[in-house]
């Protein structure tokens, strides 16, 4: 079982039995095979290869998604793609840029062409940012970090293609459970030229905000619930310590305009019935909706009183508008 990526293992298929075969494009394999299981915690791209120094035979490799075996319907498969120092023919297997979906289980089968078996080295790595190892962060948190000694997975972010980010990254996962107006990620206490990015997904191509010291993602009008990523990266290969603070502004539904027209029953005319309705609202004999309360509140003070009812009645008797002084 594979617990995390990147992953490397060596072995020898000769000590196993023949349980699987797929057409990719060749079939009729009688070679022994080995199966690895990986439960993907997030959606991300991966590269899987047997073209490593140890592998010394003609391989096949296929992937099943959630069901093993799913004969005839592999998620992906490859027979001949590359070679290794121990086998100088392009008869070894490699699968690149596979999209593993978070929550799904993947079965990686190392097999051989025909009856071939032998030593192998299996390498599996994430393509792009390493979100599997992302650190959880919440709105309002302040954390300390150090990118030194990490790995560089992303170099160009489309939101600012002129910044070559060759340094190692620290990746943080931010889960929003409600709507927000903005997310701000701020760096301080830096000893190197670090930059901060906010991503809408586990992919540098989903960059939504960036900055030397602070990145601000503003909703249009709101930022919906979901999983976001904050990346601290190193400009031109730099790395070092930093402090990261994350602040989020909750989204407040805008209050609709309030029209103090006196038309309390919203029938587009002002009559004695509107004055009566305002009086009922003032005495709490009638519970109005927002528009009705606004219309009945002639003086616009936020309360419906008997004075508002009288003002509406004056409009019926004498004309004018209900905001006229009594």
Rounded Cα gap, residues 33 and 278, in angstroms:
82
∠204-64-105 over CA atoms, to 5°? Answer: 60
Please tell me whether residues 22 and 96 are part of one structural domain: yes
Query: Please, which residues bridge with residue 137 across strands?
Result: 174
* Inside any domain, residue 180: yes
* Inside any domain, residue 264: yes
Is residue 178 very low, low, confident or very high in pLDDT (cuts 50, 70, 90)? very high
State the pLDDT at residue 51: 92
* Inside any domain, residue 300: yes
State the pLDDT at residue 324: 56
Encode pLDDT of 50-104 as tens digits.
Answer: 998 899 999 999 999 999 886 778 999 999 888 888 888 889 999 988 888 888 9
Please tell me whether residues 27 and 120 are part of one structural domain: yes
Please tell me whether residues 202 and 271 are part of one structural domain: no
* Inside any domain, residue 42: yes
Please tell me whether residues 243 and 152 are part of one structural domain: yes
Rounded Cα gap, residues 202 and 100, in angstroms:
12
Please tell me whether residues 217 and 176 are part of one structural domain: yes
Rounded Cα gap, residues 244 and 256, in angstroms:
37
CB 2 within 8 A of CB 106: no
Query: Please, which residues bridge with residue 188 across strands?
Result: 243
Q: Which one of 71, 102, 127 terminates a domain?
A: 127
Picking from 132, 177, 178, the residue whose alpha carbon sits closest to that of residue 151 is: 132
CB 43 within 8 A of CB 199: no
State the pLDDT at residue 11: 95
Q: How many Cα atoms occupy the beta-carbon half-sphere of 95 within 13 Å?
A: 24
Encode pLDDT of 284-305 as tens digits.
Answer: 999 999 999 999 998 888 899 9
* Inside any domain, residue 1: no
* Inside any domain, residue 2: no
State the pLDDT at residue 180: 94
Q: Which domain holds residue 156?
A: 135-250
Among 109-118, 147-156, 240-249, which is the least confidently predicted range? 147-156
Q: Which one of 65, 95, 127 terminates a domain?
A: 127
High-pLDDT (> 90) share of the chain, %: 57
* Inside any domain, residue 307: yes
Please tell me whether residues 260 and 286 are part of one structural domain: yes
Question: Is residue 192's pLDDT more than 70?
Answer: yes
Encode pLDDT of 309-326 as tens digits.
Answer: 999 998 888 888 877 555
Question: Is residue 276's pLDDT more than 80?
Answer: yes
Please tell me whether residues 58 and 155 are part of one structural domain: no
CB 145 within 8 A of CB 242: yes
Please tell me whether residues 210 and 309 are part of one structural domain: no
Strands 226-234 and 194-199: antiparallel
∠295-299-302 over CA atoms, to 5°? Answer: 70
Q: Which one of 127, 158, 179 terminates a domain?
A: 127
Encode pLDDT of 39-51 as tens digits.
Answer: 987 777 789 999 9
pTM above 0.75, yes or no: no
State the pLDDT at residue 318: 87
Q: What is 174-232 written as a DSSP string?
A: EEESS-EEEEEEEEES-SS-EEEEEESSSSGGGEEEEESSEEEEEEEEEEPSEEEEEEE
Picking from 28, 91, 24, the residue whose alpha carbon sits closest to that of residue 55 is: 91
Structure tokens of 273? 């019935």
Is residue 155 very low, low, confident or very high in pLDDT (cuts 50, 70, 90)? confident
Please tell me whether residues 167 and 242 are part of one structural domain: yes
State the pLDDT at residue 124: 92
CB 157 within 8 A of CB 143: no
Rounded Cα gap, residues 31 and 244, in angstroms:
52
High-pLDDT (> 70) share of the chain, %: 98
Please tell me whether residues 51 and 119 are part of one structural domain: yes
* Inside any domain, residue 204: yes
State the pLDDT at residue 126: 77
Please tell me whether residues 13 and 116 are part of one structural domain: yes
State the pLDDT at residue 15: 92
Encode pLDDT of 3-31 as tens digits.
Answer: 887 899 999 999 999 999 998 888 888 99
Query: Please, which residues bridge with residue 217 across strands?
Result: 183
State the pLDDT at residue 170: 95
How many domains, the chain? 3
State the pLDDT at residue 102: 82
Please tell me whether residues 15 and 123 are part of one structural domain: yes
CATH number assigned to the domain comprising residue 24: 2.60.120.380
Encode pLDDT of 96-142 as tens digits.
Answer: 888 888 889 999 999 999 999 999 999 998 777 888 789 999 999 99
What is the average pLDDT value for the chain, to the nearest integer? 90
Burial label, 192 (beta-carbon count in 10 A; 0-12, 13-18, 19+): middle
Structure tokens of 227? 């999983």
Among 7-11, 183-187, 215-219, 252-256, which is the least confidently predicted range? 252-256
């Amino acid at each position: 079982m594979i617990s995390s990526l990147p992953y490397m293992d060596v072995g020898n298929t000769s000590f196993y039995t023949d349980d699987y075969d797929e057409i990719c494009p060749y079939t009729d394999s009688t070679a022994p095979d080995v199966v690895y299981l990986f439960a993907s915690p997030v959606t991300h791209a991966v590269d899987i290869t047997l073209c490593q120094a140890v592998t010394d035979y003609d391989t096949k490799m296929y992937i099943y998604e959630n069901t093993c075996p799913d004969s005839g319907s592999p998620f992906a498969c490859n027979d001949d793609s590359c070679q290794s120092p121990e086998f100088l023919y392009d008869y070894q297997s490699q699968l690149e840029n596979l999209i593993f979906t978070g929550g799904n289980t993947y079965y990686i089968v190392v097999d051989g062409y025909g009856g071939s078996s032998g030593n192998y080295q299996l390498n599996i790595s994430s393509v792009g940012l390493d979100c599997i190892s992302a650190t959880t962060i919440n709105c309002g948190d302040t954390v300390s970090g150090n990118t030194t000694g990490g790995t560089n997975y992303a170099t160009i972010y489309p939101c600012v293609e002129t910044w070559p980010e060759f340094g190692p990254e620290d990746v943080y996962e931010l889960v929003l459970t409600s709507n927000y107006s903005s997310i701000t990620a701020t760096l301080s206490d830096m000893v190197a030229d670090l930059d901060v990015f906010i991503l809408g997904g586990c992919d540098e191509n989903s960059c939504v905000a960036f900055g030397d010291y602070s990145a601000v993602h503003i909703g249009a009008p709101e930022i919906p619930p979901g999983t976001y990523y904050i990346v601290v990266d190193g400009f031109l290969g730099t790395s070092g310590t930093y402090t990261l603070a994350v602040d989020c502004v909750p989204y407040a539904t805008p209050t609709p305009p309030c029209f103090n027209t006196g038309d309390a029953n919203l029938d587009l005319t002002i009559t004695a019935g509107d004055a009566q309705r305002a009086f009922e609202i003032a005495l709490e004999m009638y519970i109005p909706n927002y528009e009705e309360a606004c219309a009945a509140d002639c003086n616009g003070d936020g309360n419906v009183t008997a004075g508002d009812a009288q003002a509406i009645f004056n409009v019926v008797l004498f004309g004018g508008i209900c905001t006229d002084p009594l």
